[in-house]
């Protein structure tokens, strides 16, 4: 016990010294962050967490520096992020996708952040491209446009032509952005740790976990190789859908800081007037864009997490073009099943089904107030109850559900929370194309198809086999676990303290519990075995049917005899 406490103490001291070292290393940036916070009405926060003294901020800056206090807190938070530059803007944009981590008013406000930054000089573009490709830019490209097509906080895109004649889009990472993001994320985490120590609301919202979650997401977007893999995988998943197009990645020119993809020019879906002039059927574009998103979400489980108008365009023959796969979500088969259940529950406006879906989706705290959660879901359901299904926003409904889950401490997996944002975004896109279009009409068939697949006999048989293997593995590990436990007990490495007036009664209860546990495990194993045999009989050929039925009968007889014997022996001992 003392050794464990010493290790924990050493870990805390190491983390503390690490935070001190980071403050020294990033001292000027710390002061800049603190000054921006103070000038926007957060002087109380800087003072409360003790940064004023640590950063040696002059007391005079706390006087007359609250000119923004007429604005609401969440509005001032957005202004702070905008003034702190591209890294903080990107963190804020990622945070706006996570209603499970932050209050709804803050999430909504952060959604207004604009990623508008000036492009960096072509000399620096040339330097990065040549360093990454290990060759002069003229050797790799027949032409490289110096003026970028677009610029963002993490990088910018240039048009170019390969020596082989293909027109490509070259995405180049902003110089120094990786170091700057790492610095700012370290500062954010340090402030979050201090906030949890000194501010009750920070502890309630678990801001350190929030910062860690956002840091992981932002860091992923810095890896252009991963972005290329995401695009390739989505392209492979949707290759049978002739109505969707994903640009090709040129891997021989792609590195962690340079991404070269096929250049495809289309009309952005947000440019409705231009679509009209070109003769596009806007209703058809809306339907195909929505179907493409649900195909990614519910069928393949790998989806574009930010399908805003700038990332979707129309090609000839009403083909839908998806761009920029820096942020994607990944849903396991189990997650897709639960998402389908939630969509159906929302359509049926069933509080009970919604609550059950939320429980299966997230990590539920032991002290969750189920009755209050049900009431909150009821209140939310009532908001949509008299609204026609065609007028209900699926994305907004899901985000509202996740917000309620957040208020009750239910942690929803990151990728599932991105679903709400993706749906909300695509709903906005298709609504611009066709105000009468209902995304629910597209969602329902996908949801029902997924639920139907869930009860497919072949899939059930596979799942049953997996469960049987799990039980077999568990039973096989029991002797080894007991042996290890015995060794720890002999060495005195387990400290057990029991406070009970009648130790004998406690031991008897433990004996009963162990008997019942043994009884349950044996019957569970036999039940799974019998179910497997029955299923095998059901799907086997006629020639094997009589044989498997004899095995089934024998297994049932053995199970019954063993069960009777076990119950009789336990009852006889008086310890059931």
* Residue 192 to residue 212: CA distance in whole angstroms: 10
Known active-site residue 190: no
* Residue 268 to residue 425: CA distance in whole angstroms: 14
Query: Tokens 């209860």 correspond to what residue?
Result: 509
Helices (H), 62-143: 73-83, 86-95, 104-110, 122-133, 137-140
H or E, element range at 172: strand 167-173
Q: Which long-range contacts (CB under 8 A, 24 or more apart) does 158-162 make?
A: 158/125, 159/263, 160/260, 162/250, 162/253
* Residue 61 to residue 52: CA distance in whole angstroms: 10
Residues pairing with 442 in the sheet: none
Candidates 100, 184, 306, 376; catalytic one: 306
* Residue 38 to residue 98: CA distance in whole angstroms: 26
Return the DSSP state at 164: T
Residues pairing with 332 in the sheet: none
First vs last C-alpha separation in the chain: 36
Sign of CA dihedral 262, 268, 274, 277: positive
CA R_g for the chain? 30
How many Cα atoms within 13 Å fall on the side-chain side of residue 329? 29
Residue 544, helix vs strand vs coil: helix
Question: Regarding beta strands 302-304 and 328-330, do their DSSP bridges make them parallel or antiparallel, or are they unpaired?
Answer: antiparallel
* Residue 433 to residue 422: CA distance in whole angstroms: 17
Query: Tokens 């921006």 correspond to what residue?
Result: 36
Burial 387-404 (b: 16+ CB within 10 A, else e): eeeeebbbbebbbbbbbb
**Residues 383, 399, 319, 327: what is their CA dihedral angle, to the nearest 10 degrees?**
170
Burial 418-435 (b: 16+ CB within 10 A, else e): bbbbbbbbbbebbebbbe
Query: Tokens 């957005």 correspond to what residue?
Result: 78
* Residue 323 to residue 311: CA distance in whole angstroms: 5
Closest C-alpha to 291, from 444, 97, 434: 444
**Residues 262, 263, 265, 266: what is their CA dihedral angle, to the nearest 10 degrees?**
40
Please give the positions annotated as active site.
306
């Amino acid at each position: 016990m003392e050794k464990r406490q010493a290790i924990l103490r050493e870990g805390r001291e190491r983390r503390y010294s690490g935070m001190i070292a980071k403050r020294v290393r990033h001292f000027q940036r710390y002061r800049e962050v603190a000054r921006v916070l103070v000038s926007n009405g957060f002087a109380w926060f800087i003072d409360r967490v003790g940064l004023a003294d640590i950063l040696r901020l002059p007391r005079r800056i706390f006087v007359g520096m609250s000119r923004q206090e007429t604005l609401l807190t969440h509005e001032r938070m957005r202004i702070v992020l905008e003034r702190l530059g591209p890294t903080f803007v990107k963190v804020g944009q990622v945070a706006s996708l996570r209603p499970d981590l932050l209050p709804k008013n803050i999430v909504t406000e952060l959604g207004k952040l604009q990623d508008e930054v000036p492009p960096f000089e072509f000399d620096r573009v040339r330097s990065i491209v040549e360093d990454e490709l290990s060759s002069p830019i003229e050797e790799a490209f027949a032409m490289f446009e110096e003026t970028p097509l677009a610029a963002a906080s993490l990088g910018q895109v240039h048009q170019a032509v390969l020596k082989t004649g293909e027109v490509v889009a070259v995405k180049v990472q902003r110089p120094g952005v990786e170091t700057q993001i790492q610095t700012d994320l370290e500062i954010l985490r340090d402030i979050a740790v201090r906030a949890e120590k000194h501010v009750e609301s920070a502890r309630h919202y678990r801001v350190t976990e929030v910062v860690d979650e956002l840091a992981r997401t932002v860091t992923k977007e810095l890896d252009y190789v991963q972005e290329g893999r995401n695009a390739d995988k989505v392209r492979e998943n949707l290759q049978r859908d002739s109505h969707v197009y994903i640009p090709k990645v040129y891997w021989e020119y792609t590195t962690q800081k340079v991404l070269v993809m096929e250049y495809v020019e289309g009309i952005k879906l947000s440019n409705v007037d231009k679509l009209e002039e070109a003769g596009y059927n806007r209703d058809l574009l809306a339907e195909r864009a929505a179907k493409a998103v649900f195909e990614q979400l519910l069928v393949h489980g790998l989806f574009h997490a930010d399908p805003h108008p700038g990332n979707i365009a129309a090609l000839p023959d009403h083909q839908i073009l998806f761009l920029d796969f820096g942020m994607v979500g990944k849903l396991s088969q189990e997650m897709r099943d639960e998402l389908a259940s939630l969509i159906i529950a929302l359509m049926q406006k069933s509080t009970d089904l919604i609550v059950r879906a939320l429980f299966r989706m997230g990590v539920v705290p032991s002290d969750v107030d189920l009755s209050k959660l049900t009431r909150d879901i009821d209140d939310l359901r009532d908001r949509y109850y008299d609204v026609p299904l065609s007028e209900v926003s699926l994305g907004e409904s899901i985000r509202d559900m996740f917000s309620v889950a957040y208020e009750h401490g239910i942690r929803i997996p990151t990728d599932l929370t991105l679903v709400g944002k993706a749906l909300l975004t695509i709903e906005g896109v298709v609504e611009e194309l066709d105000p009468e279009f209902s995304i629910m009409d597209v969602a329902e068939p996908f949801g029902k198809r997924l639920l139907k697949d869930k009860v497919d006999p072949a899939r059930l048989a596979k799942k049953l086999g997996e469960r049987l293997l799990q039980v077999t593995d568990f039973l096989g590990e029991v002797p080894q676990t007991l042996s290890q436990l015995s060794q720890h007990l002999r060495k005195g490495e387990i400290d057990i303290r029991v406070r009970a007036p009648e130790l004998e009664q406690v031991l008897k209860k433990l004996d009963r519990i162990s008997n019942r546990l043994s009884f349950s495990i044996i019957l569970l194993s036999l039940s799974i075995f019998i179910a497997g045999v029955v299923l095998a009989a059901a799907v086997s050929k006629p020639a094997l049917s009589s044989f498997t039925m004899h095995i089934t009968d024998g297994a049932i007889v053995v199970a019954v005899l063993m069960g009777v014997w076990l119950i009789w022996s336990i009852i006889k001992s008086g310890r059931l």
